[in-house]
Amino acid sequence: MPINSEWDLLDRITKQIRSGLPEHLPDLLTGIGDDCAVYRLGPDRFGLFSTDMSVESVHFITGKSSPEDIGYKAMTGNISDVSAMGGACRLALVALGVPPGTEEDYIASLYKGMTEAASMAGLAIAGGDISSSKELVISISIYGETAGYDPVLRSGARPNDTIYITGSLGECRAGLDLLMNDDPAGMTAYRGLTEKHDRPPCRASIVEPLMKLFKPTAMIDISDGLLSDLGHIVKESGRGFLLKEELFPCTPLLRSYCAEKGLEPENIFLNSGEEYELLFTSAARPGEAAGEINGVAVTPIGTILDKEYFIEKQGAKIPVTLSGFDHFKK
Amino acid sequence: MPINSEWDLLDRITKQIRSGLPEHLPDLLTGIGDDCAVYRLGPDRFGLFSTDMSVESVHFITGKSSPEDIGYKAMTGNISDVSAMGGACRLALVALGVPPGTEEDYIASLYKGMTEAASMAGLAIAGGDISSSKELVISISIYGETAGYDPVLRSGARPNDTIYITGSLGECRAGLDLLMNDDPAGMTAYRGLTEKHDRPPCRASIVEPLMKLFKPTAMIDISDGLLSDLGHIVKESGRGFLLKEELFPCTPLLRSYCAEKGLEPENIFLNSGEEYELLFTSAARPGEAAGEINGVAVTPIGTILDKEYFIEKQGAKIPVTLSGFDHFKK
């Protein structure tokens, strides 16, 4: 049967691999199924391991984004996997597939972007591999650590936990639409949206204060979209959720763009991927001051329920089905 | 300038990245330029990190090798990078690029081969990523450790050290030639060669006794070919070498194949890549018993010199130039 769903394939492979796990690796605490694999290095120290592949025409379009931005974004997406476990990044490995005829300067620019993102997260590019390939492939793997506290899994959300999001969501998707629709007027008027798409924020620098203030019970980075990624948390935690649309911190720029295009900003907010903001749940009740960490908004947008999925729109609780971007779904 | 040499590009990127290394990562002992990056985890414990990308039509041909063999070989090549530092493998991450229309069973078989190799090295596949792509891409990154001794770098070879090779070399290249030349008669007569090409040995299980017996001063796995990989050792160590052809442990099967095809087995021995045998230098003088570890031959094939590169052929010392497979060289 040809692959028709990324999630179905991942389920099958996960089962296959779990059944083949060596018995003598008791220090591997969490394998496939979270943002990072967690390996115990000591009583109070954990290694975090993650990998992500970015492929030309799937994750980026070389004619639409600069190599610096492509490199920056690929690295940021990897960094956010470590951030989503509450960890600090240490080092990254970069494996590149490069089409023949590619300019050396292009590759140097790609690395410039990756190095920029890496230095924001305090990590070093410590190794890599390079091969020829038909299309540009950027495969990054990243190593981080938590020391002094346990990594935050997707599975720890409990009923009545508050659901928080860092920054804002939606602009990356709107920026992508502008880029794909070849809309020069729109791209001029809403330059901030395409810029956000090309350079989504790196939240590594707020992870430590966020961990202290909120003691997250579950966390994930927004890579597929809020609904899909919250779906991972509630599925792994065996819980439900209630999101309140009126709480969504949509930016004025996103609202103005949506007004012009006849779109609902809340809908874009729910489904915009590759944002790399942190979505987490917390039972802590930090004061008003916690609405912002180092200038980054941290906004409550809903509550974990015992079960069932709802979005509250203008006072009405609407049941929702979960979805997300699937590379193989037609 | 379009890329015309993998090595030139790697040099440029390495310089660029080294200049951007964060100052506060004193625990990153070795970055780009060895089989693995080395990160100090404690006074006497080191984390080893490596990544390798295998691309369809470059590293394997889906019509020529089974998915199990392709997966097995990709994983073995990664494992040998950790073995080449004297380390033990702990876990691997697998990022796959998969062409649309690929059968689910094909991917399951690929993982079956990877899991087989992984279990021989005692490591777990602990995470990964999957994306669509034009051609099949397998990007593996691996984490290993040494505890109780320092990782073996490429740079430690000293004059008068003996050069050793595990197992044998040459059969993988001969097997590849048979596969590429569509030679059914040859493939029947020399089935062992194509089998060796598809399933090169995994030497992870002899690393610990090898470290104890030989205390290697420098080590590398054979991925590009003996001449090229020994070249990395002598360049990083600032030394030269003398290889003695009469000592090369060419197998009877390779000799018989070469006799039939009018080839020099020693020449194939010198240039056969993706063998994943371990090449190391040692000042230890272990007894005769060290000629074999757990059934794997360990053969002295030459000596490290102060400078200059020589191969001794029938009593004559012939100067050599170093070369190796370059993905971008025309």
A interface test, pick of B133, B142, B330 with most A CB neighbours within 10 Å: B133
- Could A111 and B16 be called an inter-chain contact, meaning their C-beta atoms sit closer than 8 Å? yes
Taking the CA of residue B260 and the nearest CA in chain A, the distance in Å comes to: 34
- Could B131 and A98 be called an inter-chain contact, meaning their C-beta atoms sit closer than 8 Å? no
CB hemisphere CA count around B244 (13 angstroms): 13
- Could A13 and B101 be called an inter-chain contact, meaning their C-beta atoms sit closer than 8 Å? no
Residues A205 and A237 in one domain: yes
Per-residue pLDDT, averaged over B159-170, amounts to 97
For strand B240-244 and strand B309-313, is the pairing parallel, antiparallel, or unpaired?
Answer: parallel
Q: With beta carbons less than 8 A apart as the criterion, state whether B128 and B96 touch.
A: yes
Q: What is the pLDDT of residue A330?
A: 46
The token pair that represents B27 in the structure block = 């625990």
Q: What is the pLDDT of residue A327?
A: 53
Q: How does DSSP assign A63-128, residue by residue?
A: TTS-HHHHHHHHHHHHHHHHHTTT-EEEEEEEEEEE-TT-BHHHHHHHHHHHHHHHHHTT-EEEEE
B16 within domain boundaries: yes
CB < 8 Å to A137, chain B:
53, 55, 97, 133, 137, 139
Per-residue pLDDT, averaged over B20-47, amounts to 79
- Could A129 and B53 be called an inter-chain contact, meaning their C-beta atoms sit closer than 8 Å? yes
Per-residue pLDDT, averaged over B233-261, amounts to 96
Residue B135 has pLDDT above 90, yes or no: yes
CB < 8 Å to A98, chain B:
3, 328
- Could B143 and A39 be called an inter-chain contact, meaning their C-beta atoms sit closer than 8 Å? yes
Residues A31 and A130 in one domain: yes
Q: Among A99, A131, A147, identify where a domain stops.
A: A147
Domain count, chain B: 2
Residue B99 has pLDDT above 90, yes or no: yes
Residues A197 and A95 in one domain: no
- Could A115 and B20 be called an inter-chain contact, meaning their C-beta atoms sit closer than 8 Å? yes
Q: What is the pLDDT of residue B11?
A: 74
CB < 8 Å to A128, chain B:
13, 32, 51
Residue B298 has pLDDT above 70, yes or no: yes
CB < 8 Å to A41, chain B:
41
Q: What is the pLDDT of residue B241?
A: 97
Residue B176 has pLDDT above 60, yes or no: yes
The 3-state DSSP class for residue B118 equals helix
Site of tokens 């992984």: B118
Residues A197 and A227 in one domain: yes
Q: What is the largest CA-CA distance in chain B?
A: 60
- pLDDT band, very low/low/confident/very high, at B105 (cuts 50, 70, 90): very high
Q: How does DSSP assign A224-288, residue by residue?
A: S-HHHHHHHHHHHHT-EEEEEGGG----HHHHHHHHHHT--HHHHHHH--S---EEEEE-----G
Q: What is the pLDDT of residue A204?
A: 96
The 3-state DSSP class for residue B143 equals strand
CB < 8 Å to B21, chain A:
124
A77-89 per-position pLDDT tens digit: 999 999 999 999 9
Render the burial of B57-92: b for 16+ CB within 10 Å, e for the rest. Answer: ebbbeeeebebbbbbbbbbbbbbbbbbbbbbbbbbb
CB < 8 Å to B154, chain A:
none
Contacts of B171 (CB under 8 A, 6+ apart): B192, B193, B196, B197, B251, B253, B254, B272, B275
Closest CB from B24, B115, B129 relative to A52: B129
A26 within domain boundaries: yes
- What CATH number is given to the structural domain containing B282? 3.90.650.10
Which parts of chain A register pLDDT below 70? 6-7, 17-24, 31-33, 288-290, 323-330
B interface test, pick of A36, A102, A125 with most B CB neighbours within 10 Å: A125
Q: Among B86, B120, B147, identify where a domain stops.
A: B147
Taking the CA of residue B285 and the nearest CA in chain A, the distance in Å comes to: 34
- What CATH number is given to the structural domain containing A42? 3.30.1330.10
B326 within domain boundaries: no
CB < 8 Å to B125, chain A:
17, 20, 31-32
How high is the ipTM of this complex? 0.89
Per-residue pLDDT, averaged over B152-166, amounts to 96
Taking the CA of residue B80 and the nearest CA in chain A, the distance in Å comes to: 15
- Could A47 and B47 be called an inter-chain contact, meaning their C-beta atoms sit closer than 8 Å? yes
Residues B197 and B106 in one domain: no
Domain extent at residue B163:
154-319
Taking the CA of residue A148 and the nearest CA in chain B, the distance in Å comes to: 15
Residues A284 and A179 in one domain: yes
Residues A207 and A270 in one domain: yes
Q: What is the pLDDT of residue A184?
A: 84
- Could B125 and A328 be called an inter-chain contact, meaning their C-beta atoms sit closer than 8 Å? no
B324 within domain boundaries: no
Residue B60 has pLDDT above 80, yes or no: yes
Per-residue pLDDT, averaged over B148-162, amounts to 93
How many CB contacts within 8 angstroms connect chain A with chain B? Answer: 258
Residues A127 and A209 in one domain: no
Residues B189 and B138 in one domain: no
- pLDDT band, very low/low/confident/very high, at B330 (cuts 50, 70, 90): very low
- Higher-pLDDT residue of A140 and B15 is A140
Q: Among A107, A122, A147, identify where a domain stops.
A: A147
Residues A31 and A171 in one domain: no
CB < 8 Å to B36, chain A:
127
CB < 8 Å to B2, chain A:
100-104
- Could B6 and A130 be called an inter-chain contact, meaning their C-beta atoms sit closer than 8 Å? yes
Q: What is the pLDDT of residue A63?
A: 87
- Could B95 and A53 be called an inter-chain contact, meaning their C-beta atoms sit closer than 8 Å? yes
- Could A102 and B16 be called an inter-chain contact, meaning their C-beta atoms sit closer than 8 Å? no
CB < 8 Å to A96, chain B:
53
Residues A141 and A284 in one domain: no
- pLDDT band, very low/low/confident/very high, at B20 (cuts 50, 70, 90): low
Taking the CA of residue A273 and the nearest CA in chain B, the distance in Å comes to: 15
For the CA atoms of chain B, what is the radius of gyration? 20
